[in-house]
Chain A
Amino acid sequence: EPEVTQTPSHQVTQMGQEVILRCVPISNHLYFYWYRQILGQKVEFLVSFYNNEISEKSEIFDDQFSVERPDGSNFTLKIRSTKLEDSAMYFCASTRGEGNQPQHFGDGTRLSIL
């Protein structure tokens, strides 16, 4: 069964550095998402992406965040200048986008900011 893949599984970065988290969504899916989960907390929506542009973003997704689909398969989340509070699990998800389709999640990238 096709799945969403994310790399790396764990990223350790110094505060202030830039990080890029990578995702390969399921190939025939049209909508892509990033969510994050701070340790012990619930999953929070960051951004959705459709037709090569952001379709929706949350208040968490400020100017330090950006997303890109650089080619036909990858979907990336960039954090420009990381802060300690960016430490979290980041999940990528995708869906076909037609009505009432589930979102399929990757295993996540654990981001640790030192």
Chain B
Amino acid sequence: SQQGEEDPQALSIQEGENATMNCSYKTSINNLQWYRQNSGRGLVHLILIRSNEREKHSGRLRVTLDTSKKSSSLLITASRAADTASYFCATDARTSGSRLTFGEGTQLTVNP
């Protein structure tokens, strides 16, 4: 299986609810990043968590990282219809300048 696998593949919730997406990976990482992609658009960087961090917050986003389980989760609180997008985790294996390895993504739909 691939480095960076997200689950669920698709998630549909009501506005105001929380959305949790999970990501697993296989190799050692330097950091893990979450990106959002609106349909047909580019990737927007949301948050980066380093391998020595366990939790990070940014606005309505909360990311956790468990390096012993090689997994991460992205929580979006109080979701809005505008949060509808695909969310990808991406791992960075080296200290600087290395490739990102993306997961399959979770398609989040927030219904008004």
Contact = CB atoms under 8 A, between A and B. Distances in A.
Nearest to A95: B97
Interface stretch (A48-56, A62-70, A74-82): A48-56
Interface of A: 30-31, 33, 35, 42-45, 48, 50, 55-56, 58, 91, 93, 95, 97-108, 110
B33 A102 contact: yes
Interface in B67-112: 88, 90, 92, 95-105
Given A91-B42, A105-B42, A108-B41, A100 B102 contact: no
A98 B31 CA distance: 13
Given A50-B97, A100-B30, A44 B102 contact: yes
Contact of B97 (A31, A42, A91): A31
Nearest to A39: B40
B50 interface: yes
Contact of B102 (A43, A50, A106, A108): A43
B96 A99 contact: yes
Contacts of B35: 105
Nearest to B44: A105
B45 interface: yes
A109 B43 CA distance: 12
Given A99-B30, A100-B31, A102-B33, A45 B45 contact: no
Nearest to B99: A45
B65 interface: no
Given A42-B88, A105-B43, A105-B45, A99 B95 contact: yes
Contact of A107 (B4, B41, B88, B99): B41
- Which 5 A-B residue pairings sit nearest by Cβ, starting from the closest? A107-B42, A105-B43, A45-B99, A43-B102, A31-B97
A68 B88 CA distance: 28
